Amino acid sequence: MFVDILLSAILITGFLMIAAKRIGAIIKGFISQSLILFLLTLLLAYKSHSVELYVVAGLLFVVKVILIPHFLSRIVKKIKVDENLGLFLNPTVSIFVALFFVYLSYIFTDKIVCVEEGIEHGAFSVSLSVILMGMFIMIFRMKAIAQIVGLLVTENGLFLAAASVSGGMPFFVEIAVFFDIFLCVIILELFVYKINKAFTHIDVHRLNGLKG
Amino acid sequence: MELVFILGIPLCLAIVSLFLRRSGVFGILNAFGYLVILCVSLKLSFDITKNVTLFIPSTFFHIDALSAYFILLIALISFISSIYSIGYLASDVKEGAITERKASGYWMLYNLFAFTMFFVTVVNNLGVMWVSIEMTTLISAFLVGFYNTKKSIEAAWKYIIICSAGIVLAFLGTILLYYTVSRHGGINSLNWTDIVSVAGNLDPRVTKIAFLFILVGYGTKAGLVPMHTWLPDAHSQALSPVSALLSGVLLKTAFYAIIRFMIIVNKCVPVYYTQNLFIFFGIISLGIAAGFILVQKDIKRLLAYSSVEHIGIISIGLGFGGILGIYGALFHAFNHAVTKALMFLGAGSVVRKYKTSNMHLIKGVINVMPFTGVILILGAFALAGSPPFSIFLSEIMILTAGFQQGSYTGAILFLLFVGIIFAAIIYHFSKVIFGNKPQAIMVTHGQITAKLSLILLLILILIFGISIPVFFDKFILNAVEIIKG
């Protein structure tokens, strides 16, 4: 019951990010999605009495709810870029595309993967839709920050997918993945500064000097 | 014990480079370090062909003939590229393009990059393997964007974003595999050795889908078409010694991961499933690369597209299968690494001399730099696949495997595209190397480090083109056995 509510909340935050027009809104969407993911992990940890899951939940909270959003807002502050994300597809069409993603993920899970028990089924199809939504944000939004957030959203989806399958991956794999995401965001932040310095903008679609 | 050297030396060198600010001195120390690694990995290969039991500290690591083969490849190319880097960086510092401080930053990144590549090949856990492949991307991105020019930053950004997005799919594939391993295989482990032992019990349907995700995900990193779009940008913008590493061995570490998964999948799904996928991606890689090589204007981009071609050939070799096909694919990985390193290092010297990479502006290399010119024209023939160079041998093996296994369409398309690419590469390079040199360019003698590294590579290409040494032959056969299961 709680799990279902949290899962649908994850989907809703996904839709919020898809519909977001401003950088601030998409970062807030990411924070809320990570927070819900944290609550979900906490719930799973409580149910299974597993210390490792508590640790994973704690890491999730520190890395994805506190540190990474902090880095993201630091970028926004430092480079004083205009607030618009720059949409290639308007929010209405984007929402319809995202709805299609949810349908597709459900069908995929249902027909092809055929996970047997209830919760896994729901969680896995939600995680697939979140991954697709993240990819969508990476492709159809212009600002470099949107690509970082898109990548992070796909990582959220991966985390959920891993959790939905037999209660998570081996413990140290989870730790290594967190470390990896953390490093990835720091390095991407450095490159956003470099792009801003060299090009005086961070519009990814205008990075077209290399061709052929 | 070998493991300690292979992983420890790059890590120690990375730390030392932080404190030793004189990059010239450090460069020589660095090259010695990689010489030691090369010797250790040679000893490792000898031990494996003689069936000596290896000392491996825990199940976290796993070394067999397949991983030893890739370790040898990485050790060889990073040793030669580290020799070349000494002179390359020294002249950069002398011309004031970079500071001493930035040069020692280069050495640190170089060592960390080599460390992550070695790590991919020795780690047993498939999840940790994923993390280390992502790490190779993150670290080499700094080497791609090293000069902080507009083009290099653009290339580095595309590199990180496309490869990270691609590799997300590979992780999804790993999760799906883990699902069927824990549900149908009955173990909660991601260790490759454990999964292989239960591979027969896995659910074929889930495994098939998992492999698709893995192939597309790691295929992005390996440079298979249509996921290759970052590759020509990154490989052309990186420093030339790094381009040699990226094209020569980084692509193969991603392919190594694909092979590890393929071994598992082949045990529970009929072999032709993975084979058809490999042939499909290989042929379109060859086709697209042929088109881009024909119309290419930039010498480094041409070499980058040629890497797409050769990854395609390796993929086709695995697709044709049989002992000959797999042998050819592995041997081709070695040949391509050596030849492509030669070409990138040679082209790097040319680009530096002419201060442009546009092939319309580079003429008469043989008059300006006689030594590099001769090596480059030989290298161009070697890369295109003409005898008596080693790529010819492995391509013939793969072609024969295609006809042997009855994949006639695949084999004929392979021959067609390789023929087109042969003509295109010879055409482009003969225009670059011969012809009248521009007035402004002075004749000079190249750096001794560059000459040394080019000669070493050319000797290897010639030796392996005439005959494969007995020890090496046995070594590859051991690796083939592991792949065939």
Share of chain B above pLDDT 70, in %: 100
Report pLDDT digits (tens) over B135-180. Answer: 999 999 999 999 999 999 999 999 999 999 999 999 999 998 998 8
Task: Tell me how close the Cα of B151 comes to any Cα of chain A, in angstroms.
Answer: 6
The C-alpha atoms of residue B382 and residue B303 are separated, in whole angstroms, by 13
Q: Which residue has the higher pLDDT, A15 or A165?
A: A15
pLDDT surpasses 90 at B473:
yes
Q: Is B163 in contact with A147 (CB distance < 8 Å)?
A: no
Contact A155 B168 (CB under 8 A): yes
Answer whether residue A146 is part of any domain. Answer: yes
For residue A103, being part of any structural domain is answered with yes
For residue B191, which phi and psi values (nearest 5 degrees)? -70, 135
- B 79-108 residues with CB < 8 A to A: none
Q: Which of residues 234-273 of B touch A (CB under 8 A)?
A: 236-237
Chain A residue numbers with beta carbons less than 8 Å from the beta carbon of B212 are none
Please give the Cα distance from B229 to B360 (Å, whole number): 24
Return the H-helix or E-strand segment holding A55. helix A51-60
Nearest to B243 by CA among B143, B332, B321, B139: B143
Nearest Cβ partner for B150 among A151, A180, A209 = A209
Q: Does B458 touch chain A (CB under 8 A)?
A: no
The single-letter code of the amino acid at A66 is I
Instruction: Please give the ipTM for the structure prediction.
Output: 0.94
Cα–Cα distance between B291 and B295 in angstroms, integer?
Answer: 7
Residue A163 lies in a domain: yes
Q: How far apart are CA B301 and CA B298, in angstroms?
A: 5
Cα–Cα distance measured from residue B238 to residue B109, given in angstroms and rounded to the nearest whole number: 13
How far from B346 is each of B151, B360, B429, B458, B466, CA to CA, in Å?
22, 18, 12, 11, 23
Name the domain count of chain A: 1
pLDDT at A40 over 80: yes
Q: Greater confidence, B295 or A109?
A: B295
pLDDT at B419 over 90: yes
Of B138, B164, B209, the CB nearest to A112: B209
Q: How far is CA A152 from CA A211, B99, B130, B203, in A?
A: 28, 35, 17, 30
Is pLDDT at B26 greater than 70 in this prediction? yes
Residue A210 to residue B155, Cβ atoms within 8 A: yes
Inside any domain, residue A211: no
Phi–psi pair at A111, nearest 5 degrees: -85, -35
Contact B256, B387 (CB under 8 A): no
Break chain B into its structural domains and give their ranges. 276-485
Average pLDDT over chain A, rounded to an integer: 88
Query: Regarding predicted confidence, which is higher, B58 or B87?
Result: B87
Q: Give pLDDT tens digits for A97-155.
A: 999 999 999 988 887 766 565 457 788 899 999 999 999 999 888 889 999 999 999 99
Give the pLDDT of residue B168: 92
In which domain, by residue range, is A40 found? 2-206
Q: Quick one: average pLDDT of A69-90?
A: 85
Kindly indicate the confidence band of residue B428, based on its pLDDT and cuts at 50, 70 and 90. Answer: very high
Q: Considering the domain boundaries, does residue A194 fall inside one?
A: yes
Q: Tell me which chain B residues have a C-beta less than 8 angstroms from the C-beta of A204.
A: 157
Q: Give per-residue burial for B113-151: e unless 16+ CB within 10 Å, then b.
A: bbbbbbbbbbbbbbbbbbbbbbbbbbbbbbbbbbeeeeb
User: Please, are residues B273 and B265 in contact by the beta-carbon 8 Å criterion?
Assistant: yes
> What pLDDT score does B99 carry?
86
CA distance A109 to A147: 27
Interchain CB distance below 8 Å, B131 and A154: no
Chain B residue at shortest CA distance from A120: B179
Q: Quick check: is A55 in a domain?
A: yes
User: Mean pLDDT of all residues in chain B?
Assistant: 92
pLDDT in the model for residue B151: 92
Mean pLDDT over A34-59 rounds to 89
| Crossing angle of helices B204-222 and B126-144, rounded to 10° | 20
What pLDDT, on the 0 to 100 scale, is given for residue B287?
95
Burial class of residue A92, CB neighbours in 10 A (0-12, 13-18, 19+): exposed
Interface residues of chain A, partner chain B, Cβ below 8 Å: 112-115, 131, 134-135, 138, 144, 147, 151, 154-155, 158, 161-162, 165-166, 169-170, 172-173, 176-177, 179-180, 183-184, 187-188, 191, 194-195, 198-199, 204, 207, 209-210, 212
Secondary structure, 3-state, chain B: CHHHHHHHHHHHHHHHHHHCCCHHHHHHHHHHHHHHHHHHHHHHHHHHHCCCCCCCCCCCECCCHHHHHHHHHHHHHHHHHHHHHHHHHHHHHHHCCCCHHHHHHHHHHHHHHHHHHHHHHHECEHHHHHHHHHHHHHHHHHHHCCCCCHHHHHHHHHHHHHHHHHHHHHHHHHHHHHHHHHHHHCCCCCEHHHHHHHHHHCCHHHHHHHHHHHHHHHHHHHCCCCCCCCHHHHHHHCCHHHHHHHHHHHHHHHHHHHHHHHHHHHHHCCHHHHHHHHHHHHHHHHHHHHHHHHCCCEHHHHHHHHHHHHHHHHHHHHHHCHHHHHHHHHHHHHHHHHHHHHHHHHHHHHHHHHCCCECCCCCCHHHHCHHHHHHHHHHHHHHHCCCCCHHHHHHHHHHHHHHHCCCHHHHHHHHHHHHHHHHHHHHHHHHHHCCCCCCCCCCCCCCHHHHHHHHHHHHHHHHHHHCCCHHHHHHHHHHHHHHHC
Which residues in chain A are closer than 8 Å to B153, comparing Cβ atoms? 191, 194-195, 198-199
How many CB contacts within 8 angstroms connect chain A with chain B? Answer: 121
How far from chain centre, in Å, is Cα A120?
A: 19
The mean pLDDT value for B406-417 works out to: 94
Rounded to a whole number, what is the distance in Å from the CA of B168 to chain A's nearest CA?
7
Higher-confidence position of B53 and A118? B53
Residue B138 at interface with chain A, using a CB cutoff of 8 Å: yes
Mean pLDDT of B76-82: 96
Are B71 and B121 spatial neighbours (Cβ–Cβ below 8 Å)? yes
In a mutagenesis test of the B interface, which of A129, A191, A200, A211 is the best target, namely the one with the most B β-carbons within 10 Å? A191
pLDDT score, position A118: 47
Q: Which residues from A are below 8 Å from B178, CB to CB?
A: 162, 165-166, 169
Structure tokens at B86: 């000494």
Which chain A residues are closer than 8 Å to B183 by Cβ? 166
Alpha-carbon span B334 to B460, nearest angstrom: 10
Higher pLDDT, A175 or B252: B252
Residue B186 zone, left/alpha/beta (φ > 0; ψ -120 to 50; rest): left
- Rounded Cα–Cα distance for residues B20 and B26 (Å): 7
Residue A25 resides in a domain: yes
Q: Is B2 on the interface with A (CB under 8 A)?
A: no
* Res. B101 pLDDT band, cuts 50 70 90: confident
Q: Residue type at B222?
A: A
Q: Residue A147: its chain B contacts at CB < 8 A? A: 161
Q: Is B161 on the interface with A (CB under 8 A)?
A: yes
Whether omega for the bond prior to residue B10 falls within 30 degrees of 0, making it cis, is no
Residue A55 has pLDDT above 70, yes or no: yes
pTM for the whole structure: 0.95
CB A134 within 8 A of CB A156: yes
Average of per-residue pLDDT across B248-275 = 94
pLDDT at position A168 is 67
Give the separation between CA B243 and CA B223, rounded to whole angstroms. Answer: 14
